[in-house]
Chains A and B, each alone.
Chain A
Amino acid sequence: MSDPTGLTLIQTLKALEAKDFSLEELNKAYLERIKKYNPDLNVYLDINEESGGIPAAIKSLISTKGIRTNAASKIIENYKPPFNATVIDNLFGQNVSVIGKTNQDEFAMGSSGENSAFGPTKNPWDPSKIPGGSSSGSAVAVAADLAVFSLGTDTGGSIRQPASLSGVVGLKPSYGRVSRYGAIAMASSLDQIGPFTKSVADARLVLEWISGGDKYDSNATKEKFAPVVVSEARQSLKGIKIGIPKEYFGEGLDSGVKKTVEDAIDKLKELGAETVEVELPSTKHAIAVYYILMASEVSSNLGRFDGLRFGGPRDLFGPEPKRRIMLGTFALSSGYFDDYFIKAAKVRTLIKRDFEKAFEKCDVIVGPVSPTVAWNIGEKIDDPLKMYLSDIYTVPASLAGIPGLSIPCGFSKNLPVGLQILGKYMDEETILNVGEIYENATDWKKEKPKLADGV
């Protein structure tokens, strides 16, 4: 048996069917790899030796019955949920099992993974760098072949950004496509669960598994995602119009990232796509809007942690949750509510309208995910505003509720760069197709980080 840990999900399923290896052998191979590399990379907060299905890594934020779910926070350090998130039950129905719960920024608050109460996750391409966040462990679990695929959550970029900085595929579905039930709530009008995978086709399959209406999430009322699979012969983007927003290529964008993304756009043109310039003029307000609305929802959602039914006292919150509870409580407080919360909700409408207008001219919008490649551990930790501003290209789509895909599109300074493909509301199909055709025409998915030989 050759090492199965490098295989994509779809390749793994085929190999299992062909009896190239058993589920037991598959789990054993992954568990051995985890034992070897996890101590250095700090991907998993909990490892499930009992994993017997297709091994998936699950962000600690997502509830798993009887398996510790602590959102990388001291306040619920030893919490074991008495129920599964809907996505977990859905995956169990596909013979998937939880091989471990992954590290993250505490309560999904951060862009680097450093806000975990249990130490940062390391970027497998260079362990002195952050892997992105908040779904840091879920991104690296896939990048370092420590799981077949993983689930994360994306509120303002927490799937797309770590996917980009760690060199894997990450999909944030449309708001309402996937049930949020059982994902510990951060900002309820923005939170979405989605997959990290080793190929675009894998992301399509996992979305099919986890999507659909759910009686436990009144915003998940849509049908299950039913993909029209790209035929292997379909290699052309003829007839696809790609919108390029100039606001995503301006000041603040690192020149190496810019060049890499522009090369990817050239490739899309070569594959037959037509490009059009689109305008998203409210992009410059997105971070301000996001930090008011998100923090307000955070202050309300985190109000439930009172230490009575589970968890400990509120002084166990780390600095970032405290900062956001403070900011949100202030924005919602008497005398400031209209000036901050309502104002931000109105500008959110303008951001949403920008996208609606842009999509009259194109099928997908393409640009960078992150203005820079992975930065040094510690570099932005003392300057919250600087950290917040690094989410400028991912936050607008979250506010508009539209789907976004990050796929590997090259390297700058030997670190991965992701290409972001945004779609119309509930049109994951087109962004996945564009992503897959690009992926098939390039060799980026063959690139793997060279890991130091651990312990």
Chain B
Amino acid sequence: MRLTTDQVQKVAKLGSLTLTIDEEQKFSEQLSKILGYIEELNAVNTDSVEPTFNVTDNVNVLREDIDRPGLSQEEALLSASVKKDNFFVSKGVFKNE
């Protein structure tokens, strides 16, 4: 299928990417070509074939529910570019806080 620049913009928004106009055009071309190639899979008969998401067949690997040490607040904040009162600073969740 062909991915128009409108669709590219929509997908970029879903993927939290800001693209330049040049990038939109380039991705529209390149992704259309890649999707065109990928479409060969439509010809494969997969009736009654189960999907494989993981090859280990592990299901719900759990650990004992006991606490264990993690990073200290200081260590966790080490690489944050903006911090306030020993916390990360993020955009507001509601409105434009």
Contacts and interface: CB of A to CB of B under 8 A. Distances in A.
Do A and B actually bind?
yes
B52 interface: yes
Which of A221, A307, A342, A343 is the most central at the interface, judged by chain B CB atoms within 10 Å of its CB? Answer: A343
A303 B15 CA distance: 7
Interface string B70-97: 0100011011111000001110000000
A375 interface: no
Interface string A337-372: 001101111111110100000000000000000000
A314 B19 CA distance: 10
B80 A310 contact: yes
Contact of A346 (B33, B49, B63): B49
A309 B56 contact: no
Contacts of B12: 326
B30 A323 contact: yes
Given A175-B55, A285-B40, A326 B8 contact: yes
Interface string B1-33: 001000110011011111100010001001101
A442 interface: no
A317 B61 CA distance: 33
B80 A323 contact: no
Given A308-B90, A326-B8, A329-B14, A349 B52 contact: yes
A388 B30 CA distance: 12
A322 B44 CA distance: 29
Contact of B11 (A307, A312, A329): A329
Interface stretch (A29-37, A78-86, A98-106): A78-86
Contact of A326 (B17, B41, B42, B46): B17
A401 B54 CA distance: 9
Contact of B56 (A219, A307, A323): A219
A326 to B, nearest CB: 6
A311 B80 CA distance: 7
B50 interface: yes
Nearest to A289: B41
B55 A288 contact: no
Contacts of A352: 52, 55
Given A175-B56, A288-B38, A347 B44 contact: yes
B16 A309 contact: no
A385 interface: yes
Contacts of B78: 80, 82
B17 A317 contact: yes
A103 to B, nearest CB: 21
Nearest to B63: A215
Contact of B75 (A82, A319, A326, A340): A82
A384 B63 contact: no
A3 to B, nearest CB: 39
Contact of A308 (B8, B11, B55, B89): B89
A309 B76 contact: yes
Given A349-B50, A350-B44, A384-B30, A425 B17 contact: no
A124 B66 CA distance: 50
A385 B37 contact: yes
A161 B22 CA distance: 32
A345 B51 CA distance: 5
B95 to A, nearest CB: 19
B32 to A, nearest CB: 11
A350 B15 contact: no
Contacts of B82: 308
A255 interface: no
A249 interface: no
Nearest to A344: B41
A287 B34 CA distance: 10
Interface of B: 3, 7-8, 11-12, 14-19, 23, 27, 30-31, 33-35, 37-38, 40-42, 44, 46, 49-56, 58, 61, 63, 71, 75-76, 78-82, 88-90
9 contacts: A189-B55, A218-B61, A221-B56, A326-B12, A328-B15, A346-B46, A347-B44, A385-B34, A385-B37
Given A288-B38, A346-B51, A346-B52, 20 more contacts: A78-B79, A175-B56, A189-B54, A219-B54, A288-B37, A292-B38, A303-B15, A307-B81, A309-B76, A310-B79, A314-B18, A317-B17, A322-B27, A327-B34, A343-B46, A344-B41, A350-B49, A384-B30, A385-B33, A399-B52
